[in-house]
Amino acid sequence: MSLKLANLIGIPVVGLHQGQRTYAPRRQAGHMTAADQTVQGEKSACHEANGMDPALGLGWDVEVSTTEQETSMNIVRIGLDLAKYVFHLHGVDERGKVVLRKTLRRPGVAPFFANLPRCVVGMEASNGAHYWAKTLSEFGHDVRLISPQFVTPYVKSNKNDRNDAEAICEAVGRPNMRFVSVKSAEQLAIQAVHRIRSRLVASRVRLVNQIRGLLGEHGVVVAQAIGNLRRALPRIIDDEANGLNSIVRALIGELREELSDLDGRITIYDRKIINLYRMSEACQRLGEVEGIGPITATALVAAAGDGKCFKNGRQFAAWIGLVPKQRSSGGRSRLLGISKRGDRYLRTLLIHGARAALGRTRGKQDPRSLWLLKMRERRHANVVAVALANKNARIAWGLLASGMNYDQHLTVSSA
pLDDT given at position 62 = 37
pLDDT digits (tens, 9 = 90+) for 303-318: 998 888 888 999 999 9
pLDDT digits (tens, 9 = 90+) for 261-309: 999 999 999 999 999 999 999 999 999 999 999 999 999 999 998 888 8
pLDDT given at position 52 = 42
pLDDT digits (tens, 9 = 90+) for 106-144: 999 999 999 999 999 999 999 999 999 999 999 999 999
Q: Which residues are paired to 326 by β-bridges?
A: 335
326 by DSSP, 3-state: which? strand
Q: Concatenate the DSSP letters of all residues of 42-107 into one string.
A: HHHHHHHHHSS-GGG-TT---PPPHHHHHHHHH--EEEEE--SSEEEEEEE-TT--EEEEEEEEHH
Residue 48 has pLDDT above 80, yes or no: no
Percent of the chain with pLDDT over 90: 61
Q: What are the distances in angstroms from CA 283 to CA 195, 254, 331, 401?
A: 18, 39, 43, 13
Closest CA relative to residue 146, chosen from 188, 114, 116, 177: 177
Reported as type and span, the H/E element at residue 294 is helix 294-304
CA quadruple 267, 268, 274, 280: dihedral, nearest 10: -150
Contact 79, 172 (CB under 8 A): yes
Lowest mean pLDDT among 83-92, 216-225, 361-370: 361-370
d(CA 207, CA 333): 45
Residue 2 has pLDDT above 80, yes or no: no
Q: Say which CATH architecture domain 186-279 belongs to.
A: Up-down Bundle (1.20)
Superfamily of domain 66-180: YqgF/RNase H-like domain (3.30.420.140)
Closest CA relative to residue 123, chosen from 182, 184, 185, 187: 182
What are the domain boundaries of the chain? 3-56, 66-180, 186-279, 295-327+334-413
Could you tell me the pLDDT band of residue 412, with boundaries at 50, 70 and 90? low
Q: Which residues are paired to 131 by β-bridges?
A: none
Could you tell me the pLDDT band of residue 411, with boundaries at 50, 70 and 90? low
Mean pLDDT on 391-406: 92
User: Can you list the alpha helix ranges (DSSP code H) found in 97-184?
Assistant: 106-114, 129-138, 148-151, 161-172
pLDDT given at position 69 = 52
The separation between the first and the last C-alpha atoms of the chain, rounded to the nearest angstrom, is: 87
Q: How many helices (H) and strands (E) does the chain have?
A: 17, 8
Torsion-angle region of 317 (φ positive above 0: left; ψ -120 to 50: alpha; else: beta): alpha
143 by DSSP, 3-state: which? strand
The reply to whether the predicted model has a pTM over 0.85 is: no
Closest CA relative to residue 84, chosen from 51, 123, 127, 49: 127
